[in-house]
Amino acid sequence: MSDLTWTELPEVDPDRPDELVLDFSGEVYRVGTDETFIIGRGGDLDIDDNPYLHRRFLVLRHDSGLWWIVNEGSRLSATLTDGDGLVQSRLAPGASMPLVFSRVILTFSAGPTTYEIDLITAEAGRFAGIDGHSPSSRGQTTIGATPMTRSQLLLVLALAEPVLKRAGTGSAEIPSSRRRLHAWAGH
C-alpha cells in the first residue's frame, strides 16, 4: 500500500513521460508503453475475491501514440469519466476507447461491489480546453476537432431533422436550423 492520502494522486514519472499510472485504492501501478495491463480475476490488477468479475475484463495498452482501454468481458460494462467529471463514456463488452484526458476515472460494478480506478497519463494535449464564454459557464469547455465532409454533414442533418422539426413551429424551422448547422460546420 502507498502512503498517499485520498487527496493526493500519483503523477507520471518525468523520466517515463509516456507511462500510464493506475491508482486503485492507494495501490499504484506504472505501465510502460511496451506493456499490456489486465484488470480482472487473475490479471495484473487481480481482483480475485469477486466471482462476478471476468478473469480478463479490461485491458490497457499503448498503440499509435495513445493509451487504449479494451473491454474483453462478455457481460460487464465500465464507465470512464474525465478528471473534472464533465465527460462520461460507457465502455460496453467488446468495445475499446482511447484515453484522451490526462486523468480518467474508471468505474465498474461486478455483483454488489463497485470499483473505482484512477488512470493518469501525461497526454493532456489530446483535447484542448477553452475558458467558457457565457456567464453561466463554470471553467473550461472541452473542444475536439470534428472535421466533416459534406456527405457527413448532410447525414447529421438528415438524422437531426425530426428533432429540428419539433424545435420550433414545424417545418419552417428546418431552413434556419440547416443554416445554423452549416455555419457551425464551417460550410
Reported confidence tier of residue 49, pLDDT bands at 50, 70, 90: confident
**Confidence (pLDDT) at 45:** 92
What architecture does CATH give domain 20-126? Sandwich (2.60)
* pTM of the predicted protein model: 0.64
| Structure confidence at residue 54 (pLDDT) | 93
Portions of the chain given CATH number 2.60.200.20: 20-126
Local confidence band at 6 (pLDDT 50, 70, 90 cut-offs): very low
Contact between 130 and 140 under an 8 Å Cβ cutoff? The reply is: yes
Angle at 85 between CA 142 and CA 79, to 5 degrees: 105
Distance of CA 65 to the CA centre of its chain: 16
43 pLDDT more than 60? yes
pLDDT for 144 equals: 60
Task: Please spell the DSSP secondary structure of 13-73, one letter per residue.
Answer: -TTSTT-EEEEETTEEEEE-TT-EEEEETTSSEE-TT-TTS-SS-EEEEEETTEEEEEE--
Contact 50, 40 (CB under 8 A): no
Please tell me the distance from the alpha carbon of residue 63 to that of residue 73, in angstroms, as a whole number: 20
Using one digit for the tens of pLDDT, what is the confidence trace for 155-170?
888 888 887 777 554 5
- pLDDT surpasses 50 at 128: yes
